[in-house]
């Protein structure tokens, strides 16, 4: 293991300043500074607030990661950074910092794709990825199905959301129900006291023959149902609404993921992204994968949400594959396509 390079990973695509350090597929540090509390009163992430928070958190979070790993700057062999997709201003902070560290340390720089990093991070817990595998990434900004022949070289888009991402729908429904931001954990918690069969909410694009997702109609259906109950003077049982909404989301996600596995003859499914921390999604995916004979991989919740470890993990794969490092001219690309793993 000592012969494998030490990679510092920097993640600033949204509201969390994540710094990770890995050696090969061994995680040495995963330090996160979140500005979530600063956004909560707005009910969503404010890009300018996030960017300023990254500026303030960058240096102390890097230093904390080095301390956690018991390393010095001189030990670092390469720097990897999320170059996109994400919030433009937030990405710029991370990319500028990564360039500075790489230049100052005299080590290679790797600009990587945020979504591909969510795939690569699973290797820190479960070892090398099967080739190929199907990956489903679900978060506040993305709901994507991918065919991954090799995460360091080749990622193919199979389907994505046509409107709201799953995590975005969780946040909006939480607001309707009077639950705090971010909505995902609070809906998950409330749903444990309710029934997923209490209300028959719609399943968007479930049988449309594509591998795309749509959650905007579901979000609207929940809002209309709640409005109608309140207008008629009836009580809204939040746990039942939360559970029924959650069931509609995870039902579609798991069915589409297994459709992708069958269509492409793949026996391994990876689920990543912030929504992959949802307890019902993890349980239903496990149940349906076992029934279908598909092997399921889901990282522990702390590696599902945005973090620097995932960026370092993908950077390590790029180093191992002999990929040419990025130049110091790499841009921050808020709409970087998933098919571009490395810039």
Smallest Cα–Cα separation from 29: which of 9, 2, 55, 53? 9
What is the C-alpha to C-alpha distance for residues 144 and 215, in angstroms, rounded to an integer?
A: 13
| Assigned token pair, 134 | 């199907």
Sign of CA dihedral 219, 170, 256, 318: positive
User: For the CA atoms of the chain, what is the radius of gyration?
Assistant: 20
Q: Which of 3, 5, 277 is nearest to 118 (CA)?
A: 277
Q: Which helix (H) or strand (E) holds 136?
A: strand 133-138
Q: What's the CA gap between 164 and 275, in Å, rounded?
A: 13
Was 278 annotated as part of a binding site?
Answer: yes
| Pairing of β 26-34 and β 78-84 | unpaired
Structure tokens at 276: 């992959």
Distance CA 227, CA 224 (A): 5
Is 114 annotated in a binding site? The answer is yes
Tell me: is residue 137 an annotated ligand-binding position: yes
Torsion of CA 128, 305, 20, 47, to 10 degrees: 140
User: b/e string for 112-128 if b means 16 or more Cβ within 10 A?
Assistant: bbbbbbbbbbbbbbeee
Q: What six digits make up the tokens of 200?
A: 């028959």
DSSP SS3 for 7: strand
Residue 164 assigned ligand-binding role: no
Annotated ligand binding at 138? The verdict is yes
> How crowded is the C-beta side of 283, counted as CA atoms within 13 Å?
7
Q: Which of 324, 325, 322, 315 is nearest to 80 (CA)?
A: 315
Q: Are 183 and 173 in contact (CB under 8 A)?
A: yes
Binding-site members for Fe cation are 114, 118, 306
Binding-site members for substrate are 137-141, 171, 184, 188, 278
Binding-site members are 114, 118, 137-141, 171, 184, 188, 278, 306
């Amino acid at each position: 293991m000592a012969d494998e390079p030490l990679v510092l990973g920097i993640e600033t695509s949204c509201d969390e300043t994540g710094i990770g350090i890995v050696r090969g597929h061994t995680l040495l540090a995963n330090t996160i500074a979140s500005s979530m509390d600063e956004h909560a009163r707005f009910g969503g992430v404010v890009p300018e607030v996030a960017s300023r928070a990254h500026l303030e958190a960058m240096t102390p979070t890097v230093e904390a990661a080095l301390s956690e790993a018991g390393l010095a700057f001189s030990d670092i062999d390469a720097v990897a950074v999320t170059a996109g997709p994400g919030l433009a201003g937030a990405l710029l902070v991370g990319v500028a910092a990564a360039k500075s560290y790489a230049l100052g340390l005299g080590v290679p720089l790797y600009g990587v794709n945020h979504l591909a990093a969510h795939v690569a991070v699973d290797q820190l817990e479960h070892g090398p990825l099967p080739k190929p595998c199907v990956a489903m990434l679900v978060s506040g900004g993305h709901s994507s199905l991918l065919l991954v022949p090799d995460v360091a070289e080749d990622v193919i888009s199979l389907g994505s959301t046509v409107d709201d991402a799953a995590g975005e729908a969780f946040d909006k429904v939480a607001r309707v129900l009077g639950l705090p931001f971010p909505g995902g954990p609070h809906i998950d918690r409330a749903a444990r006291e309710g029934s997923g069969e209490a209300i028959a909410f719609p399943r968007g694009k479930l049988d449309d023959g594509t591998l795309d997702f749509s959650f905007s109609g579901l979000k609207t259906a929940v809002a209309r149902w709640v409005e109608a109950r309140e207008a008629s003077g009836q009580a809204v049982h939040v746990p039942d609404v939360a559970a029924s909404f959650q069931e509609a989301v995870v039902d579609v996600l798991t069915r589409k993921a297994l459709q992708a596995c069958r269509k492409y003859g793949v026996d391994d499914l990876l689920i990543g992204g912030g929504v992959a921390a949802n307890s019902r999604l993890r349980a239903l995916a496990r149940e349906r994968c076992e029934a279908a004979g598909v092997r399921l991989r889901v990282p522990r919740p702390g590696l599902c949400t945005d973090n620097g470890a995932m960026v370092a993990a993908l950077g390590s794969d790029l180093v191992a594959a002999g990929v040419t490092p990025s130049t110091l001219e790499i841009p921050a690309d808020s709409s970087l396509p998933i098919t571009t793993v490395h810039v």
